[in-house]
Structure formats: C-alpha cells, structure tokens
Amino acid sequence: MEKFCIGNSKKLLAAAIAAMMIFSLSAIPAAAATSYPAAINVPNGAATVDGVIEPGEWDEATPILMKLSDLMADQDAGIPGAGLVGGPRPETVSDDDMWVSLRMKVKDGFLYVLEERKDSTLQFAHDDPITSYASDGSIIFFWGPDGLKELSIIAETKSKTGPAFARNESEVISAEEAKATITANSVVLEAKFKLSDLEMTEESWKNGDYLVTYCAVNILEPNFSGSVGDLWGNNYQLQYKGVGPWEESVPLRVVAGADWPPPAASAEPEPEADAGAADDAAAPTDAPAEVPAPSAPKVGDGLAAALAFMVFAAGAFAATKRFAKSR
C-alpha cells in the first residue's frame, strides 16, 4: 500500500509539473518589436513647408514609425490593430522595401504634417485622395470624444499634379501649403492644414482630447489599376497600433515648441552666471515631462514563474514522500 501511494504521488506530481510548465511557457508574451511611446509629442510650433527636413526642424516631434519587419513581429505578438493586412506576407522582408514615418506640429490653428516614406516599389496609381489606400498613400486616424476623424494623404497623383488630401474618406480638401520631394524610392512630404478643415480645434489638441494612429499602403503590382476592387492581390497595408480597435491608439500631447526657423542668436553678451543660483537653474519648471516608453514584456517573467513552480512542486513531492513513509 505504501509503495502504491508513493508511486501514485510521483505520477500525479510529475503530471502536475508538466502541465504547469506547459501553461507557464505558453503564457509567456511575445515582445513587441515597435517601441510604442506613451504619448505622441506634437510641438506647439510651425514648420517651413518645402519638402526639405531642415536640421532641428522636426526634432521635438515624436515619429509614428512603421517598419515592415517590426509591424509583422507586432502582429505576431498580438499588438491590437498593428501589422500587415491585405495581401500575403512578403517571403523576404527588408525595411528598404517599406517604411513610413509621420510627425506633426500645431500652431495658431494650423496642423503641420511631415511624412517620410522609403518604398522600393513607389507607385502613385490614381488621382483620388478619398481612396488614398488604393495608391502608395496613407491615412491618419484621430479618435476622440466626437468620434473618428481621418486625414487621407497621397504625396503625388497619377497625373503628376502634386500632393492631394481628403478628410473622412468622403471629401477632398486642400492644404494651405504642401510640397513633396520624391525620388525613385523615397518621399518627403510636408503640408499645412487648417484644423477647422479637419473639423478640429487647437484647443481640443492642447486639451489632449485625441488618440492617434496611422496606416499606409504599399502597392507592389507594377501595373496596378488604382481600383479599390483590385487592391488586395500582392499589395498590402501597414498598420500602427490602434487601427480598428481605436481605443488602443496612442494619445496626442502638445508640448512646448518653437516657431521655425528659430530666432537669430542675440548679439548681446550673456550675463555672468551667479554661482549661488546653480541650484535654482537645475531644471526649467515649464519643461514638458518626459513620458517613458512602455517596456516590452520580458520573456524571463513567464520562465521565472515556471521555475518557481518547479521548486515548489519538488518541495511538495518531498513532503508527500515523507508523509507516505511515516504511514
């Protein structure tokens, strides 16, 4: 009887340990490849709309960066809304095939937008910004208390008439200024919009009323028709976190910024520093607080839990064995 009890205990504990290890390891979350910020910083400042990124001009603005390889990994990790949709996944993945970046500023009722794109198959398939997603175009999504607002962008039309824009996939709008610098495989687009044309106010931006996310389409087919009905053959769309599950989008945060270009340096000599004022000058009180990016889940967390259980189970087995012997 004693031998039977010990044998059963061994089998039960071994099964429990195996089951718990499988559960613990399967519960280990995959890490996101994209470093999603806690907030998208939008400087309160202007930009020169010339299709050229001047040194320092956009440095304070947080980029919404979409890289092909990272977003595919994010999709595998279960990041809400992020990933590649539409056509099949590329068999060979290179970020030179596709990456896009969006940065924004706001000033005096205007929204300034910078979009950069690297694209080995750059193609502008039609002239209609309402369906920017049926060309090498993109859409910015703003999610707030008054619902979803969209700004559709194509840096060039098929007719070579320059950048074109639409709002809410229903109405073509004009930018106050827009300029795109385009090469065989890259785009730098700068544009300036009235916030009122986007049905938004600067106050709502500064109040932190909006979350933001972003998507961009990559047209791979060299003879693509530009028709939405033909879209998802080999073409695909990259999506940032929150496309679809809008509440998972990243908050917008307007921060202190400077007009561009910055004012010329003063020719007056700097006053001598007061040695006793060093402590007072440690940090400006109106500087925007840095919000740390959320850390990716650590693979070691789930493994540590599994190991801890194994130690516990080993102790429990020893106690069971001792208990059986005592009988």
3-state helix/strand/coil string of 65-104: EEEHHHHHHHHHCCCCCCEEEECCCCCCCCCCCEEEEEEE
Please tell me the total number of residues recorded for the chain in this structure. 327
pLDDT at 261: 77
Question: Distance from first CA to last CA of the chain, Å, rounded?
Answer: 10
**Residue 234 burial (CB < 10 Å; 0-12/13-18/19+)?**
middle
Among residues 304, 326, 312, 319, the alpha carbon closest in space to that of 27 is found at: 304
The CA angle 101-207-51, to the nearest 5 degrees, is 30
Phi/psi for 287 (5° steps) reads: -70, 135
What CA–CA distance (Å, rounded) separates 64 from 52?
A: 18
What CA–CA distance (Å, rounded) separates 265 from 22?
A: 64
A 10 A CB-CB count for 197 gives: 17
What CA–CA distance (Å, rounded) separates 19 from 114?
A: 52
pLDDT by residue, tens only, the chain of 327 residues: 333 333 444 444 444 444 444 443 343 456 789 999 999 999 999 999 999 999 999 999 999 999 999 999 999 999 999 999 999 998 888 888 889 999 999 999 999 999 999 999 999 999 999 999 999 999 999 999 999 999 999 999 999 999 999 999 999 999 999 999 999 999 999 999 999 999 999 999 999 999 999 999 999 999 999 999 999 989 999 999 999 999 999 999 999 988 887 777 665 554 454 444 434 433 333 333 333 333 333 333 343 333 333 433 344 433 333 333 333
Residue indicated by tokens 């924004």:
104
Residue indicated by tokens 């999709």:
75
Q: Which two tokens stand for residue 118?
A: 């690297």
What CA–CA distance (Å, rounded) separates 300 from 213?
A: 30
**Residue 173 burial (CB < 10 Å; 0-12/13-18/19+)?**
middle
Report yes or no: 196 and 204 within 8 Å, Cβ to Cβ. no
Give 84's strand partners: 238
pLDDT at 260: 81
